[in-house]
Chains A and B, each alone.
Chain A
Amino acid sequence: MEWLYMTMPIAGVNIFWPGLIILGLGVGIIGGFFGLGGAWMVTPGLNILGFPMAFAIGTDVAQMAGKSLISTLRHGRFGNVDYLLGITMLIGTIIGVEIGAQMVMWLERIGQVDKVVRWLYVVLLAVIAWIVFTDVVKRRQKERKAKEKNVEVDKLASGLDWGTRLQAIHVPPMIHFKQAGVYCSMWLPICVSLFTGWLAGILGIGGGLIRMPALVYLVGCPTHLAVGTDLFEVAISGLYGAASYTYKGRTELIAAIIMLCGAAIGAQIGVVATKYVKGYGIRVVFGLAVIGCLISVLLKLLSAEFPSAGALLNTLATIDVLGFVSAISIYITMCMVKGAQAEIAAKKLAAGK
């Protein structure tokens, strides 16, 4: 079974390469479906496969750029990417990440960085999960009320209407993001991305996990557009991250390339699945993924607080991440297969008539 292992030329570690393809496939599916980079799942995965942590992060970032590019191209063909909105948000993201990075330096100087970053991450994930599920409940309430009045709720309506309220603030220059169907002040996406970039900079993450819900709830983007536009940003920030980590000598490109082979297939499955799942379907599963991520971060925090149970808690955190990734990937694949089967069957039926 020696052929299943490959020596990585830079890290010098012997890696089970089919594991890299499986990992790429999983992150491709989830990333394409939610518009995430997926660092929270890939980095521990690479670490489990045998990569030292520094190489795990760098390699993850490199594959993230390629994988997000594949997903962006696919989403783009569906019309799910608003490039103008993505570029506008990039301005805020760049400044926000820099402010966040400077803040991390300041926190380092006062010796508070670990504590602040860890707890901020927990609070942020809890808030995102709360927003997602509150939105779902509110949308159901709206539907119930509409049913009582014998009217139908608009198919693009959300439970939480923060986006519409923020769009109503008319501070020039006003921009019409045609693809996303959003007419708002240019400052809205810039301020939102400044905020999400700042958070991403402090937490040291790509930011997809924050930006996707921010696009939906603060900018007022339809879910599918938020997923595609976010991936466009992840692709660009991933490329920057890849350059940065590679220059520091922490990227194993061979591993990233092997992962990309799996991710290319996974991204197709994830993106095509969004065609058959409505916006709220994506939001609910996204909320569950955030809860999975939250549990894993909490377990890691506990392992740092209680070193005697550290090994057990770390193992539980890994099981949690892999369990959630597998379950969500299988669910998305099933959605895609069922949807495709129904579409092909309908086409055949139409052709037979």
Chain B
Amino acid sequence: MKKMRRLWTIICCCALSLPLLAPSLAFAAKAEITIVADTRFIDNSILHWWAQMYNNSHLAFALMTMAIIPILGGFLGFVADFFMKMTGIDLEHRELAEK
């Protein structure tokens, strides 16, 4: 039940943030300056692929970023939490007081 509620919260948040995206996408379409990544001097194959994707499609690049940021954030948060728990601190409770 708790998991379902969490999932529902995430879905609601995503749905609510969607209308925010629309005007900015329309606004971005009017942008006059296009920046191109210079891939000639990138030796690393992953970075080269990444820069090439940026040059080919900003939309794909944006979608990829939108997927990577929360996944990586969640993962790093989980890892950092794991190490923090090893210190022996109680990470579930706190006293709510102003002074």
Q: CA separation between A256 and B20, bound complex, in Å?
A: 22
Q: CA separation between A244 and B99, bound complex, in Å?
A: 41
Please tell me which one of the listed residues A62, A143, A247, A264 contacts residue B69 in the complex, with CB atoms under 8 A apart. Answer: A62
Nearest residue (CB) in B for A94 is B20
* A-B Cβ contacts below 8 A, count: 182
Complex interface bits, B12-27 against A, C-beta within 8 A gives 1, otherwise 0: 1100110111011100
Using Cβ atoms and an 8 Å threshold, which residues of chain B touch A265?
A: 80
Please indicate which of the listed interface residues B17, B69, B96 has the most CB atoms of chain A within 10 Å of its own CB: B69
Using Cβ atoms and an 8 Å threshold, which residues of chain B touch A246?
A: 58, 61-62, 65-66
Known: A267-B80, A344-B87. A87 touches B12 (CB 8 A): yes
Q: Does A65 contact B (CB under 8 A)?
A: yes
Known: A10-B37, A278-B99. A264 touches B20 (CB 8 A): no
Using Cβ atoms and an 8 Å threshold, which residues of chain A touch B48?
A: 9
Interface size on A, residues (CB 8 A): 69
Using Cβ atoms and an 8 Å threshold, which residues of chain A touch B76?
A: 66, 70, 260-261, 263-264
Using Cβ atoms and an 8 Å threshold, which residues of chain A touch B58?
A: 246-249
- The answer to whether B13 touches A90 (Cβ under 8 A) is yes
Interface residues of A in 72-127 (CB under 8 A from B): 73-74, 77-80, 83, 87, 90-91, 94, 97-98, 101
- The answer to whether A7 touches B98 (Cβ under 8 A) is no
Using Cβ atoms and an 8 Å threshold, which residues of chain B touch A7?
A: 41-42
Interface residues of B in 62-81 (CB under 8 A from A): 62, 64-66, 68-70, 72-74, 76-81
Using Cβ atoms and an 8 Å threshold, which residues of chain A touch B9?
A: 83, 87
- The answer to whether A242 touches B73 (Cβ under 8 A) is no
- The answer to whether B69 touches A94 (Cβ under 8 A) is no
**Interface of B (DSSP majority class):** helix
Interface size on B, residues (CB 8 A): 57
Q: CA separation between A294 and B73, bound complex, in Å?
A: 30
Using Cβ atoms and an 8 Å threshold, which residues of chain A touch B3?
A: none
Looking at the assembled complex, report how far the CB atom of A59 sits from the nearest CB atom of chain B, in whole angstroms. 11
Using Cβ atoms and an 8 Å threshold, which residues of chain A touch B25?
A: 244, 247
Please indicate which of the listed interface residues A155, A239, A344 has the most CB atoms of chain B within 10 Å of its own CB: A239
10 shortest interchain CB distances as A-B pairs: A66-B73, A279-B98, A264-B76, A70-B77, A69-B73, A244-B24, A9-B51, A246-B62, A247-B62, A155-B97
